Structure 1
């Protein structure tokens, strides 16, 4: 682990004012590691931690009629959890699974709420993180309405070029809302434009 400075930088960027209570927040961070295939949290269980992915890639997926549907990927320098479960304290509908080996930091629901009780700035950070997650989901939904699968794939590659190296085509296709065969055609068209 290279340390918690990346988390501090992200929180500072969210807050846009001096991060006075960093030491309190840093104290609740726990380094965790996962092998490829390990679950960070599972559907049917309540999500008790938020993870900051330092290295590696995490897939967020659910099962529908026996088929895995990729809903999101957490790339390095991002936060992830089953946010609905974490907030409501109900069993999660999604799995978080390491696609590659993952090094991360975790902070628990209980520790975060104890921090909220003593730090007004931490409450503000929690609200800003929730707003950020909402905007990410909103933009993803909007992209399905405004852009073709090929455009969404091109954007994914632009933002995260490591996708094609580490994520199976079946999982990427599911994330884009298409079949693997369609993604194969898109990739062929993009590598051999007319």
Structure 2
């Protein structure tokens, strides 16, 4: 009979399998392989999944919790994206060429994740029937989306970024501090309050 811990691990990995199956077809052999290659990891609130200057060695899948992506520009933190449950997290700019990262990924809540190393991902690509297709899709979903978020930080107005945040993450306003939302929008917290008021008055 399985222990409670073993049962919990099975449930956690099923969450990942469902997400992968939304992108590619998986055989029973593929599923068994994925369950072996992805490892459990806890990241406490405030800890880093990826620190500044560190080489990104893993792709993570968030089972529970919330993370943010940010850059440190002249001593000021600029948040440009958030990742929550059922999202993959990675800085592919560092992960693919194995170079030091200028982007930082930090847990905003206690997080439970499943992660796969760069070396094991190569096994994944070779062992899973549609593994390489999955890799291409994930790069499209995560890497390109994050590049667009970062580009938006420099090209879009704060009001537009706030409206985009509400549309993209309607359930996150209660989970993210005003400080981090303001950082994402590109303003000080007091300016965020004025933006919210203007948008509210337009409705």
Query: Would you call these one fold, judging by a TM-score over 0.5?
Result: yes
Q: If the length of structure 2 is used for normalisation, what is the TM-score?
A: 0.82
Other-structure match for 1:71: 80
Other-structure match for 1:91: 100
**Superposition deviation, residue 97 in structure 1:** 0.8
Counterparts of 2:98 and 2:147, CA distance in 1: 23
**Superposition deviation, residue 23 in structure 1:** 1.7
- Once the two structures are superposed, what CA deviation does each residue of 1:118-172 show, in whole Å capped at 9, x if it has no partner? 3342122111111222442365367669965334323422442343222222221
Q: Which is further off, 90-99 or 166-175? A: 166-175
Counterparts of 1:138 and 1:94, CA distance in 2: 11
Once the two structures are superposed, the pairs formed by residues 1-194 of structure 1 within 5 Å of their partners are 2-15=11-24, 18-20=25-27, 21-137=30-146, 139-140=148-149, 148-191=157-200
**Residues 26, 129 of structure 2: 8 Å contact kept:** no
**Residues 88, 142 of structure 2: 8 Å contact kept:** no
**Superposition deviation, residue 112 in structure 1:** 0.8
Counterparts of 1:145 and 1:82, CA distance in 2: 19
Q: Provide closer, same or farther for how the CA distance between residues 139 and 63 of structure 1 changes in structure 2, counting only shifts above 3 A.
A: closer
> For the aligned residues, what is the CA RMSD?
2.4
Matched residue SS, 1:47:
coil
**Superposition deviation, residue 186 in structure 1:** 1.5
Q: Which is further off, 157-166 or 181-190? A: 157-166
Structure 1 consecutive aligned stretches of length 4 or more whose deviation exceeds 6 Å: 144-147
Q: If the length of structure 1 is used for normalisation, what is the TM-score?
A: 0.86
Counterparts of 2:57 and 2:48, CA distance in 1: 13
- Once the two structures are superposed, what CA deviation does each residue of 1:6-51 show, in whole Å capped at 9, x if it has no partner? 2222212222xx3122221221111111221111121111111111
Q: Provide closer, same or farther for how the CA distance between residues 167 and 147 of structure 1 changes in structure 2, counting only shifts above 3 A.
A: same
**Residues 60, 89 of structure 2: 8 Å contact kept:** yes
Q: Provide closer, same or farther for how the CA distance between residues 139 and 47 of structure 1 changes in structure 2, counting only shifts above 3 A.
A: closer
Counterparts of 1:154 and 1:142, CA distance in 2: 16
